[in-house]
Amino acid sequence: MNGIIVSNTGPIIALSLIDHLAILKSIFQETIISQSVHEEILQGGHLNIGLAQYKKATSLYYRLQIQSIRSITSVLDKGEASVIELAKQCHADFVLIDEKKGRKIARDVYNMNVIASARILVEAKNRGLIKNVSQALAEIKAKGYWIHDSIVNLAKEKAGER
């Protein structure tokens, strides 16, 4: 993996929870978030999850999407819709989305290279940036971020930890 990636809110929060947001800088040439995603992260939810680490991040760039996202906000939330639109506009190599519906639409409708947080962790292990994918995923889940067990098991398998 290399190149430009546009990320949704969830993966930024997940990586922030385990203080591994900088992994994105090591794997990708540029990590971009939309204005909508930036605002969602700053809102922080009821626990301000990942907010402190996000505010310290120096390797993320946020941009306004130029075109309207109305056409897909009827099926996706504003963050996911803005990720897809921004990725199209800046010709991103990848989109980083954890939600199943968003991944499916980005991949099947817009023919985008879609990855999720678990795959970022597997790539980080392959590059020697982290030691253990299972431990990282367990910590993310323990801190309140939901990842389906099938995704956890697949990531463990790909990381050679099963």
Residue 135 confidence (pLDDT) above 90: yes
Q: What does pLDDT average to over the chain?
A: 87
CA-CA distance, 44 to 46, in Å (whole number)?
7
In a domain, 113, yes or no: yes
In a domain, 84, yes or no: yes
Assess contact for 130 and 27: CB atoms under 8 A. no
Residue 117 confidence (pLDDT) above 60: yes
Number of domains within the chain: 1
Whichever domain contains 16, its CATH number is 3.40.50.1010
The residue-averaged pLDDT of 60-80 equals 66
In a domain, 131, yes or no: no
Structure token pair of residue 106: 């980005």
pTM of this structure: 0.88
In a domain, 141, yes or no: no
* Burial (0-12, 13-18, 19+ Cβ within 10 Å), 149: exposed
In a domain, 58, yes or no: yes
By C-alpha distance, which of 157, 11, 152 is closest to 79?
A: 11
In a domain, 107, yes or no: yes
In a domain, 110, yes or no: yes
**Does an H or E element contain 33, and which?**
strand 30-34
pLDDT at 124: 98
